[in-house]
Chains A and B, each alone.
With several copies, the nearest count.
Chain A
Amino acid sequence: MEISSGDTAWMIVSTALVMFMTPGLALFYGGLVRGKNVLGTIMQSLFALGLVSIIWFVAGYTLAFGPSGNTLIGGLDFLFLRDVGAEPFALAPTIPHSVYMAFQMMFAVITPALITGAVAERMRFRGYVLFLLMWSLLVYSPVAHWVWGGGFLGLGDGNVGALDFAGGTVVHINAGVAALAAIFYIGKRHGFGKEAIHPHNIPMVVTGAAILWFGWFGFNAGSALASNGLAGAAFINTHLATAAAMLGWLAVEWIRNKVPTTIGAATGAVGGLVAVTPAAGFVEPWAAVVIGLAAGMICYGAVSLKAKISFDDSLDVVGVHMVGGLVGALLTGIFATEAISGIEGANGLLYGNAAQLGKQAIAVGVTIGYSFLATLFILKVTDMLVGVRVTHEEELTGLDLSQHAETAYTTVDRGTVATPPVGAGSTSASHSVVQRTAEG
C-alpha cells in the first residue's frame, strides 16, 4: 500500500502524544510522593525515556516485532533499526515503518515507568537502571511479541486470539503484575501503616493526570494506526470511559468517605483510561461508559483494600493498572463487536461469542504468570549485583538527596545558605568538610 499523508500525520502526532505521557506520569507520580522523593520519582520515569528508547533502538524493537518464524520472540532483522525506514511495514501499511516503530517505542518506554509507582520512595537508582534494562528486554519485548507481534496470544491462525487494542494486557496488566512482584520483593516503606504519607503537591498530580489523559488519545486512538473511523471510535471510547470512571470513583468515595476528592477524580480517570485501553477499538460508546464506570468503582475498591491488608503499593499501581487492566481485558471479551473494529469475528460474549472471554482470560493469565515470575527473577539478579533498595538512612533522607544530590524546592533564603561551587575559587577552610549524603 501507499503511504497516506493523513494517516502518517495522525500517527506522528500520536507518537508525540504517547511520548508526552511519560513526563506526565513523572508529574502524576511525583506529586503523589513526599517532597523529599519527588525528584527520585520523576527521574525514574524521565530516565526510562532515555534508556528504554536506546534499548528499543538496539534490540527491543526487533525482539518484539522482528519477523521470526516463531510465535515466542521476534527475530533479529531490525537490530539497530536496520531496514526500519520510510517504507511501510506489514503491521501498518499506510505509514512509514519508522513511524510505526517510534509509536511502539513510546509504549515500551512508559510500561516499565508505570511499575515504579508501586515501590516509590525506596528504590535504589542504580538498581533501577539495571532492572529497567533487563525488564525491557526480558519482559516487555516478549509480551509485546506474543500479543501484537505475531505471537501466540494474539490474532492469527493457531494463536489464542485475544483482543488487546492498545495494551490493556501488554502494558497495564504486565506493569501491574510486575508492580505486585516488586512490592513483594522490595517490601514496605519505613513508617507505612503508622504515619500518614501524604502527597506533597496535588496540583502536580492533576497536571500529570491531565497530560496522561491528553496523551492517551494518541495511545488508544493512535492504535488504529490510521486516521479513520476506527480512530474516531477509539478516541470517543477513551474519553467516555475516562469520564465515566471519574464519576464512578467519586460516587463511591462520596458515599464511603463522605467527600469527593481531587485525587479521587484523577485516580478514577486514570483507572478508566487503563480499562478502556484494550477495548477502545472494539466496543460501542455505551459499552465504554459501562467499562469506565465499572473501572472507577472497582479500582476504588481495590485501592481501599490495600490499607486493610497492609500492602505498601505506594501509588496503587496494582490497584489501578493491574485491576483496571483486568476489568478492561475481560469486559472486552464481553462487549467487543465487529461492527466497531471491522475485524471479522471480533465479538464478545454479548454478541454471541462466549469463547472470546476465555481467550481474554488465557492471555491475561499467561501474562500474569510470566510477568510475575520474570520480574521476581530480574529483581533478585539486580539485588545481587547492585542492590534494589536504598538504605534505611537514605530512605529517611529521601531519594532526592540520597540518590541524586538535589533538593527539589529551594526558597529564596536557602539560596544563600550554601557554599560556593567547588572549583569556583572558594578556598575557605571551613568548607572542606564535605560529607556526601549521596551514596553513589
Chain B
Amino acid sequence: MKLVSAVIKPFKLEEVKEALRTTGIQGMTVTEVSGFGRQRGHTEVYRGAEYQVDFVPKVKLEVLCDDSQSEHVIETIMKTAHTGEVGDGKIWVVDASQVVRIRTGEMGRDAL
C-alpha cells in the first residue's frame, strides 16, 4: 500500500478532488498547511512598518492507495494541480505497511 501526499495550491483542491474521484479514488484526507519554498511570500504593512511573511497558504492531500494505483494518483494530481507557476507544489510517496478501516476492521486493499 502507498500513502501519496501532495501539497497543492488551495484553489486547485476542488478540481483535484473531482479528478481523483473520477479515476476511482474513494477517499482522501485534507489539511490546511503553510508552505515555504521557491514561491516567495509577501510583504505586509502594519502601521508604517513592513513585514515579510515567508509562508504561503497551501493544502495538503493524503491519499492511501494500492501500489498499482499510486502512479495513476500521482499523474492525476500532477495534471490537475498544475498551473505552471512557481508554487504548484510537491507530491511524495511513502510505503504504508498496513491500512485498516475502523468501521469494519477490514485491512489492506479492502480498507480503502
**What is the interface of chain A, defined by CB distance below 8 A to chain B?**
191, 195-196, 198-199, 253, 256-257, 259, 261, 263-264, 267, 300, 303-304, 307, 316, 396, 401, 404-407, 411-414, 416-424, 428, 430-431, 433-438
Contacts and interface: CB of A to CB of B under 8 A. Distances in A.
Contacts of B11: 191, 195, 396, 416
B40 A433 contact: yes
B53 A418 contact: yes
A190 B49 CA distance: 18
A416 B48 contact: no
Contacts of B43: 405, 434-438
Most chain B beta carbons < 10 A, residue from A316, A418, A419, A434: A418
Given A196-B53, A430-B21, A416 B13 contact: yes
A428 B45 contact: no
B42 interface: yes
A342 to B, nearest CB: 39
List the 4 closest pairs (A to B, CB-CB), nearest first. Answer: A304-B48, A421-B49, A437-B42, A419-B52
A424 B34 CA distance: 25
B57 to A, nearest CB: 7
Interface of B: 10-14, 17-18, 21-22, 30, 32, 34, 40-55, 57, 59
Q: For the complex, would chain A's binding face be called helix, strand, loop or mixed by DSSP majority? A: loop
Given A416-B10, A417-B34, 11 more contacts: A253-B45, A257-B48, A259-B45, A261-B45, A413-B57, A417-B30, A419-B14, A419-B53, A421-B49, A421-B50, A434-B50
A430 B18 contact: yes
A198 B50 CA distance: 11
B32 A411 contact: yes
Given A401-B42, A405-B42, A414 B34 contact: yes
Contacts of A404: 45
Contacts, number: 115
Nearest to A433: B40
A401 B49 CA distance: 15
Given A430-B22, A436-B42, A416 B14 contact: yes
15 contacts: A198-B44, A253-B45, A396-B11, A404-B45, A411-B32, A412-B10, A413-B10, A413-B32, A413-B59, A414-B34, A414-B53, A417-B55, A419-B53, A420-B51, A422-B50
B53 to A, nearest CB: 4
Contacts of B45: 253, 257, 259, 261, 264, 404-406, 438
B47 to A, nearest CB: 5
A165 to B, nearest CB: 28
Contacts of A413: 10, 13, 30, 32, 57, 59
A406 B13 CA distance: 21
Contact of A418 (B10, B14, B21, B59): B14
A417 B46 contact: no
Nearest to B49: A421
B26 to A, nearest CB: 12
B46 A263 contact: yes
Most chain A beta carbons < 10 A, residue from B21, B48, B54, B55: B48
Contacts of A407: 44, 53
A191 B34 CA distance: 22
Given A411-B32, A413-B32, A433-B40, A316 B47 contact: yes
A263 B53 contact: no
